[in-house]
Amino acid sequence: MSALAYSQLPNHLQPLLAKFYRAHNSRNRIRTEALCWVAKRSDIVGGLCLTPVEEGHFLTGLLVTPTERNRGIGAQLVRNAVASSAGPVWLFCKPELVDFYSRLGFSVANRLPAALADRLTRYRRSKTLVALQNDRRMMSVPNATLNIAIACLLDDCGRILVVRKRGTRFFMLPGGKAEIGETPLQTLRRELQEELDLPLEDNDFDSLGHFQAPAANEPDHQVEADVFIARLSRAVTVHAELEEMGWLEAAPCEQDDIAPLLRSHVMPALLARMAQAESVACCAEPSDQGEIGSLAGKVSSIASSS
Same domain for 129 and 149, yes or no, is no
Same domain for 199 and 222, yes or no, is yes
At residue 179, does pLDDT exceed 80?
yes
Q: What percent of the chain has pLDDT over 90?
A: 54
Lowest mean pLDDT among 38-47, 149-158, 241-250, 269-278: 269-278
Last residue of a domain, one of 120, 138, 156: 138
Predicted local confidence at residue 192, as pLDDT: 95
Same domain for 223 and 188, yes or no, is yes
Same domain for 243 and 156, yes or no, is yes
Kindly report the number of other CB atoms within 10 A of residue 297's CB atom. Answer: 16
Residue-number span of the structural domain to which 209 is assigned: 144-296
Same domain for 151 and 224, yes or no, is yes
Domain CATH code at residue 62: 3.40.630.30
One-character DSSP codes across 258-291: B-HHIIIIIHHHHHHHHHHHHHHHHHS-HHHHHH
The band of 138, judged by pLDDT with boundaries at 50, 70 and 90, is low
Last residue of a domain, one of 113, 138, 163: 138
- Number of folded domains that form the chain: 2
As a whole number of Å, the CA-based R_g of the chain is: 21
* pLDDT tens digit sequence for 261-306: 898 889 899 988 888 877 766 665 555 444 433 443 333 333 333 3
Last residue of a domain, one of 79, 110, 138: 138
Predicted local confidence at residue 15, as pLDDT: 95
Query: Per DSSP, what are the bridge partners of residue 97?
Result: none
Distance (Å, whole) CA 106 – CA 104: 6
Q: If you average pLDDT over every residue of the chain, what do you get?
A: 85
Strand pairing class (171-172; 144-154): unpaired
Residue 304 lies in a domain: no
pTM of the model: 0.51
